[in-house]
Structure 1
Amino acid sequence: MARTRNTVRPSGAIPPWPVAAPVAALIALPGGAAAGALLTGGVLELLDIGDGGGGAYLIGGALGLWITWWPFVRAVRTHCLWAWTGALVAAALVAPTVVLASGESVRAVWSAPHDTQTGVSAVGSWYDDDGVVVRVRADGATAFRVDDGGVAWRWSPPGRETICTLSRRTSEGIGVLGHTTDGGSCSVATALDLGTGREVWRSAMAPADHILEEQVPDLIAVTGETVVLPEARGWRAVRLSDGKDRWRAASEKGCTPLLSDSDGNTMVTVDACGERAAPAVATYAGHDGRRLSRGHVPAVGTPQFLTVLAADPLTLWVHEHDLRGTRAVLRYDERGDVRGTLQTDGLTGEIRILPGLPKSYLKVLEARPVRSAAVVGDTLVAAEVRPGDRQWVSSGNKPGYQSTRGRVSGFSLTSGARLWSIDTDDEIEGVIRHEDEVWAISGDKLTAVSPRTGLRTHEVATRETDTRFPADLWILGSGGYALVHADGGSAAPVTVLR
């Protein structure tokens, strides 16, 4: 008679399941995925890399293991090799996914010492590919070496003069700024070698009789080897390298210079033509002064805001104080006629060209204002503000806080249609064009998008670095980013991130 062996299972032992080996591998997958998330999140937190989301994966992985440990152990007891294989495969798939999802991040390599002079803010900045970031205050300019943050040079205007305008662009390692005394209109232009801080040349320019109500206009335009400066009856182009005259462009009768800008090889000038007359706009070839187009700005007198967003094709932002006035981005044709109009004030929201609070603009970096819009080809990429983006949240006895959100949108300058829109976790504080991408500053993120499709090409966490406006953003040729703050007391004046 055969004997039957009775197996006594220890109390609390986990019995196997009557399942096939592949099924045991499938049962072990969730446990392996949770373990992979736990371990990878822990490594990210330990090494302090990624966008700071490693802690969430660490907690999520621990919670997942707590939920899946029972079926995982039963699967191991059933078919040990198959179960462990399934778990390892799941962990191997989850780990790189967590690393990729954690995103890019940068940290401060160096920060310039805080300003000690209270009430003196930066009015603009420049970046030179040779390796310096220049922060310009009203009382002078300081160049910081990108590599180590050391001061490369300092420059101050003569006597008690103050800096009142900067060229928006630099060329051949030279930037041009304007300065004046007693807070009056800019009357002197000085070209600086950005590598050494040496004055290349100095030239008189006519003070502007008309100023925009809430915006310091771009008075000095630089493109290639040409600089355009205002004079009494029009515009004077000088050679960038030595300040010698190249060509002149007379203003229309009854008009005086208001602002200028450049893009590529094209110069744009805008003249004020009286309190009730439309400003005149013209474009010129930078190298020889040949007039390319002439037109007018659809406004009555000098508008509240007027900005050149692109020179070729000519694109202007006009915002009149009058409620029924022009508030739009205008695209001109090659003759100087308006061929596209994109309204910036709409029923569903507002297209922002300058950063600031809802329905108001921030007067910062006044000599070279930060913008929250850029033009690439036929597309305007700009911050779009909608009702409810900024809300006060209060719950019971807990302290209240302000909730903010934002978005960057792309618009066709031909049809005016919205092409795409992406949401951000915070308000948009600045938008710049860099090569074929557009970068946006938003909270603790730097986001690059394709202007054609709106797809995010980069999303970089700045990790504990203050990016709140007002700040200039520069994409460094050597890799990394430079932030230049207007208020150098509450934040570092210049910070390089890598």
Structure 2
Amino acid sequence: MIPERRGPSTGAVALSGAAFGAAAVFLGAGVVAGDWPTGWAAVVCALVLTAVGVTVRAAAGRTATTRDSGGGPSLDKTDTATGPAAPGRASFVAAVVVWAVAVLAAGIWAATSGDDDERDGGGTAKGRPSASAQPSTSARPTAASSLDAAPAVPWTVPAVGQKYDEGVGSWALGPTVAQGRIDGLFAYDAAGGSVRWSVPAPTREALCAITPDTEEGIGLVAHGRHEKPCATLLAVRTSDGKVMWRRKLGGTGLVGNALAVGGTTAVTAEDGTVRARSTESGEQRWQRPAPKGCLPLALDADATRTLLVEQCGKGARLLALDTRTGTQRWTRDLPVESTATASVVSVAPAVVAVDEADARGTHAFLGFDDKGAPTASVPLSGPEGVLSAPEGVGDGRTVRPLVRDGLLITFAEHESMVPDRVVAYSLKDGRKAWAHDDEGQTMALAAEPDGRVAYLGSDASVTLLDPATGRTATVLKPDTAELPAISIAPELLPVPGGHVVLNQINMQAEPAAFALR
């Protein structure tokens, strides 16, 4: 007697039972946990269940054939080819094919599941932190990318304070950016967003002033109480946030944002007097009380020269002082005959923005040579539209204009009520050198280390322009579907491998800062 061949059917049924059990558990987890398999997981489950069904059908057909032939194989070649044995064999072939497809699908699923995990990044695309999550101080730096590549948004800092709270400025410090927030000075790592150091404002005091930039690794900030003078001055070392010294200012405190550092000298306009101190020790070097009938309006300094704008009665004048000694180098009367606001846009070359109360008076950027002779006058409102100027000057949006290569570069409200044009004027004669129009809103200006001019668009794009012609060199658009929100007065800071955007006014809980890399 030839023994009955049940091995293949028994093995197939055992394998099918194990696979069926695994698939059932997988699907059962979806019922209990509410997390149904999707993508390749769902395909593998479907193929496994199909393979189980075909295998069971093949096993049943094989058993029936054996039983009908009396426990042994048929000796009838016709029956073997076309009789009851044919359907069983066809079912086994189908089972093998379906199992092969299931194994292939499982292999593809296993190969791609790691990529899916990386993309998920704990719940946010491309592994970047959520906009609502505070960056960890242990965040790993993101690898630097080319400035000409499509940027991502690797980190954000959540909104700070209450609605309409306003920051006071910022410093670009290479791999670090420092933001003057209402609650103090905070330095973020440009690569990962973690806080490297901070100088918190005291209880019930807010940061109220910051120098436009730093020199010799030191910058100045000031804070004060609600509806009180901005009267506490601090010198901060930018490498680690150490407070080098602290001074209480008397009387009316600081005049606006009239504080600057030039070389190793800190210069401030406070309570009607211009004072200079050592940035390292705080020791006073010189002082210049305002002449009778005069008040300081604005100042800025570099290592050799301090520019000071004074209002004297209904007139105004610009003075150049030696930063180290306070010696007056030259003075120039400004074309002003009424109360004015002013800002020093550039120390060298000398450029100031002036906006007086008289509607028919001077509302312009004014340029001067090294001896104080006027060189250029650019109206704040003209053929190019309403120009953006530093805070408190003019009717346009607030921006810090750029001065480089003999050009004054700023924004203009040309075709709409918001800035939509970048425009450059010659400081030799005040004529327009070039204009660049944007389809959206221009939000912030920055000077790139390689000499190009950068501006931030309302779509979080960064456009790089040739400073000589205004032609587009590169447009960097974030490769993320969900763009971080931009407030009405942001700042754009170039950092190694990308840019950092600082939202200085909290309008709708926009992030305080985010990176584009």
The answer to whether the superposition gives a TM-score over 0.5 is yes
| Larger displacement relative to structure 2 (441-450 or 345-354) | 345-354
2:474 corresponds to which of 426, 435, 458: 458
> Alpha carbon RMSD of aligned pairs, Å?
2.8
1:326 aligns with 2:326: no
What one-letter code is carried by the residue in structure 1 that aligns with 2:336? Answer: A
Cα deviation, residue 206, structure 1? 5.0
Cα deviation, residue 286, structure 1? 2.4
1:122 aligns with 2:161: no
Cα deviation, residue 413, structure 1? 2.0
Cα deviation, residue 340, structure 1? 2.1
Rounded Cα–Cα distance in structure 1 between residues aligned with 2:186 and 2:464: 28
What one-letter code is carried by the residue in structure 1 that aligns with 2:232? Answer: V
Task: Report what 2:233 is aligned to.
Answer: 189
Task: Report what 2:124 is aligned to.
Answer: none
- Change over 3 Å in CA distance of 1:354–1:116 after alignment to 2: closer
- Change over 3 Å in CA distance of 1:372–1:210 after alignment to 2: closer
1:175 aligns with 2:219: yes
- Residues 373, 430 of structure 1: 8 Å contact kept: no
Relative to its length, the structure with more helix (as a share) is 2
Rounded Cα–Cα distance in structure 2 between residues aligned with 1:337 and 1:252: 23
Cα deviation, residue 316, structure 1? 0.8
Q: 1:73-99, CA deviations, whole angstroms, 9 ceiling, x for partnerless residues?
A: xxxxxxxxxxxxxxxxxxxxxxxxxxx
- Residues 260, 301 of structure 2: 8 Å contact kept: yes
2:456 corresponds to which of 441, 457, 465: 441
Cα deviation, residue 447, structure 1? 1.8
Rounded Cα–Cα distance in structure 2 between residues aligned with 1:462 and 1:252: 53
Q: 1:355-411, CA deviations, whole angstroms, 9 ceiling, x for partnerless residues?
A: 99xx9445xxxxxxx51521114211111222x435xxxxxxxxxxxxx77221111
1:151 corresponds to which of 182, 185, 195: 195
Q: 1:446-477, CA deviations, whole angstroms, 9 ceiling, x for partnerless residues?
A: 1222332223333222342334532111101x
The count of aligned residue pairs is 364
Q: Unpaired runs of 5+ in structure 2?
A: 1-118, 120-147
Rounded Cα–Cα distance in structure 1 between residues aligned with 2:302 and 2:170: 18
What one-letter code is carried by the residue in structure 2 that aligns with 1:317? Answer: A
Rounded Cα–Cα distance in structure 2 between residues aligned with 1:335 and 1:238: 26
Rounded Cα–Cα distance in structure 2 between residues aligned with 1:187 and 1:116: 22
What one-letter code is carried by the residue in structure 1 that aligns with 2:222? Answer: G
2:181 corresponds to which of 137, 140, 146: 137
Cα deviation, residue 227, structure 1? 0.8
Rounded Cα–Cα distance in structure 2 between residues aligned with 1:433 and 1:494: 19
Task: Report what 2:78 is aligned to.
Answer: none
What one-letter code is carried by the residue in structure 2 that aligns with 1:179? Answer: H
Q: TM-score, normalised by structure 2?
A: 0.64
What one-letter code is carried by the residue in structure 1 that aligns with 2:361? Answer: G
Q: 1:153-205, CA deviations, whole angstroms, 9 ceiling, x for partnerless residues?
A: 33233342322111111123322112222323322211122333321101233
| Larger displacement relative to structure 2 (444-453 or 462-471) | 462-471
1:373 corresponds to which of 394, 401, 409: 401
Task: Report what 2:413 is aligned to.
Answer: 385
- Residues 274, 290 of structure 2: 8 Å contact kept: yes
Q: 1:408-454, CA deviations, whole angstroms, 9 ceiling, x for partnerless residues?
A: 11111222221111111212212233443322222222122233222
1:228 aligns with 2:273: no
1:470 corresponds to which of 481, 489, 492: 489
Rounded Cα–Cα distance in structure 2 between residues aligned with 1:225 and 1:109: 36
Task: Report what 2:420 is aligned to.
Answer: 406
| Larger displacement relative to structure 2 (239-248 or 428-437) | 428-437
1:497 aligns with 2:511: no
- Residues 441, 467 of structure 1: 8 Å contact kept: no
Q: 1:241-294, CA deviations, whole angstroms, 9 ceiling, x for partnerless residues?
A: 1211223334333223222112464221122323x2x12321223233333321
- Change over 3 Å in CA distance of 1:208–1:338 after alignment to 2: farther
Rounded Cα–Cα distance in structure 1 between residues aligned with 2:304 and 2:491: 24
- Residues 236, 245 of structure 1: 8 Å contact kept: yes
- Change over 3 Å in CA distance of 1:164–1:384 after alignment to 2: same
Cα deviation, residue 207, structure 1? 5.1
| Larger displacement relative to structure 2 (485-494 or 183-192) | 485-494
Task: Report what 2:434 is aligned to.
Answer: 420
1:237 aligns with 2:276: yes
Return the structure number with greater relative CO, CA threshold 8 A, min gap 6.
1
| Larger displacement relative to structure 2 (318-327 or 202-211) | 202-211
Rounded Cα–Cα distance in structure 1 between residues aligned with 2:268 and 2:471: 39
1:272 aligns with 2:311: yes
What one-letter code is carried by the residue in structure 2 that aligns with 1:120? Answer: D
Q: Unpaired runs of 5+ in structure 1?
A: 1-46, 48-102, 212-216, 363-369, 391-403
Q: TM-score, normalised by structure 1?
A: 0.66
